[in-house]
A and B are shown apart, each in its own frame.
Chain A
């Protein structure tokens, strides 16, 4: 046997403590973390279905064959798990919600919980965040990854969809990565910022048609243009939910 054929792919985070491993992204597979994430994903999906009557519209719009970006409005911690719930169960290990490092790495428990349950990718909210964009691009180049981005950069305080930051534009300008706009309805009421216990109110997710921004050049103005376009796309989905709900209601009423 030729000895050269046998390679050991030692874990890239070998020699790091458990928490330092969780800080990295993408993380090395770990049977216990994967098991915990799968179990919690099932539990969260079941709980949201029952407690929040969670509904997903337009799941077919998710590209099945390649990596893509999910872009959504942000009102609540529930948003991330709601978007993850739209993916297939085995995809939750390769879905990376971008999370602000200053908030999510603030204490160990928060980091461990969010990294294990939601597989978050820590991201600097300040200027050094631009370096993180290259990291995101590397992830998107590989097949099967999903990036979850909340371009507002923070949870809304008044329930309105705020301005989209241009980071998302810089990420996807001039590339063929599919960007899927999503609108989350009701999470602001169910679990607003500074509240701990979710309310049993209705939560819905509308997934729009994917789009890509190959034509737009990589510049600040292009990024702003993309961000505005995505903002409008997400808002357009919000009106769609209203129409759909009223239609389904009226149908029920006549039956």
Chain B
């Protein structure tokens, strides 16, 4: 990944045109509803404005190269981890929070350096073993503090936060090292957002029966099924981004995004409900916190990563 590679990459160019076109069309639709039909679109406008800021930032960080992409995704990871620690009260234990953050940054280091044996970008073994080292580090902190009270709680919270946010989202970070990094990353980001939007739209149009009332009262089965179908077919529409994949593999990848996206969404809802907060943060106006935005990616990224690695190698 580099600026010149991005300009030469057909995948990057097509996705750039696609997102620009979608933003223009989306803005046009919102304007039409607002001024043509005189309806209140403040919610959609807030969300759209969020995208107007996010899309250029993501595009530039991917365009500029592998290192900037890794740093950008790591920043997202760090912000999400802080949101999580503030929601669960882990932030009162500064050492444990910082240790979790050290783990998150360790993922970035593992992704950015080259493997000394093979010379390939990213130390895959270290990345995969990161949870082991972080759990050792966290318990070691408790030992060095010489203080047993309440340590399991903070160690557990910090370790879960690291594994769930730092490490699982770290798969997106590590995807920047893939041969077809543009294809994989852009497909994944695009498909996950499409899945969210499809679930919302299908739910609005056909939603009757609730999916999982105690966790997320507004999700409907019809919305989920519709989104899974659309997500399963989407890779076939963007075959250019996944050139090595056969049709069946495309559908599998689509199902991973469709099902994983929903599960990730619901999983964060479980945490939010248990803790008793509505949104995880306020960093992205119109979207809530960073963690609310990347929740679907958390489940999808590792599944997609390992399926791709198994089928075609990174």
Contacts and interface: CB of A to CB of B under 8 A. Distances in A.
Interface of A: 6-11, 14-17, 28-32, 34
Given A8-B87, A16-B282, 13 more contacts: A8-B274, A10-B276, A28-B86, A28-B91, A28-B92, A29-B91, A29-B92, A30-B82, A31-B82, A31-B94, A31-B101, A32-B82, A34-B94
Contacts of B91: 11, 28-31
B292 to A, nearest CB: 12
B101 A11 contact: no
A11 B87 contact: yes
A10 B87 contact: yes
Interface in B242-300: 274-279, 281-282
9 residue pairs, one from A and one from B, having the closest CB atoms? A9-B89, A11-B86, A8-B275, A8-B89, A8-B88, A31-B98, A31-B97, A29-B94, A17-B282
A31 B84 CA distance: 13
A8 B156 CA distance: 13
Contacts of A31: 82, 91, 94, 97-98, 101
B153 interface: yes
Nearest to B78: A32
Contacts of A9: 89, 92
Given A16-B282, A17-B282, A31-B98, A10 B89 contact: yes
13 contacts: A7-B89, A8-B87, A8-B276, A10-B86, A10-B87, A10-B88, A10-B89, A11-B86, A29-B91, A30-B82, A30-B91, A31-B98, A34-B94
Contacts of A28: 86, 91-92
Contacts of B88: 8, 10
A184 to B, nearest CB: 31
Contacts of A15: 277-279, 281-282
Contacts of B97: 31
Nearest to B98: A31
A225 B86 CA distance: 45
A32 B101 CA distance: 10
Interface in B40-98: 82, 86-89, 91-92, 94, 97-98
A30 B92 CA distance: 8
A136 to B, nearest CB: 22
Given A30-B82, A30-B91, A10 B282 contact: no
Interface-central residue, B91, B97, B281, by most chain A CB under 10 Å: B91
A208 B94 CA distance: 34
A15 B94 CA distance: 20
A33 to B, nearest CB: 10
Contacts of A11: 86-87, 89, 91
Contacts of B98: 31
A25 B36 CA distance: 47
Interface-central residue, A9, A14, A32, A34, by most chain B CB under 10 Å: A14
Nearest to B271: A8
Contacts of B86: 10-11, 14, 28
Contacts of B87: 8, 10-11, 14
Given A15-B282, A29-B92, A34-B94, A10 B277 contact: yes
A4 to B, nearest CB: 13
Nearest to A30: B91
B274 to A, nearest CB: 7
B53 to A, nearest CB: 15
A57 B97 CA distance: 37
B94 A6 contact: no
Contacts of A32: 82
Given A15-B279, A30-B82, A6 B153 contact: yes
Nearest to B157: A8
A30 B83 CA distance: 10
A173 B300 CA distance: 62
A220 B51 CA distance: 57
Interface in B186-228: none
B228 to A, nearest CB: 32
A16 B276 CA distance: 15
A190 to B, nearest CB: 34
A28 B97 CA distance: 13
Contacts of B276: 8, 10
A108 to B, nearest CB: 16
A177 B278 CA distance: 41
Contacts of B281: 15
A51 B282 CA distance: 41
Contacts of B274: 8
A14 B275 CA distance: 12
A10 B153 CA distance: 14
A10 B279 contact: no
A14 B92 contact: no
A106 to B, nearest CB: 23
A10 B97 CA distance: 14
Interface-central residue, A10, A16, A28, A32, by most chain B CB under 10 Å: A10
Nearest to B89: A9
